[in-house]
Structure 1
Amino acid sequence: MRATARQAVSALHDAGVRTVMLTGDNGRTAGAVACDLGIDTVIADVLPEDKAAKGQELQAQGRMVAMSVTA
């Protein structure tokens, strides 16, 4: 994880933003990282080609979605 990740999540929370980690990693790994960073919700085991659809599902629930792609 990036050195600035914890600070970024904290700043988002300070702004009233609920954070979601959408990742291809397995649930156990993703959960551990999310817990360490303070991320609110984890959606794990998502294939790359399915990530946009998951974002659209969140939007359909009335959420605003912004995605950051990392390699």
Structure 2
Amino acid sequence: MDGDDKELLREWLIRSLEPVCDADPEVLSKYVLALVQNDLQKPGLQDTCVSKLEEFLGDGAFSYARENKCG
């Protein structure tokens, strides 16, 4: 993923995270990007995203990861 794609994805993540969490969406978007940037098709990525995002999104972590194709 090149720099322009990363920035577009980060901006999209900010918009998608704003309504579902109390954490700073800019900081959380960088965290999510770090989780997924290496290999979006990696086996177990969705489970990893869910477990890492539960702290921020609570019970909504699974639906967020599924709806946003995290893994």
* TM norm structure 2: 0.33
Q: Which has the higher helix share?
A: 2
Q: Which has the higher strand share?
A: 1
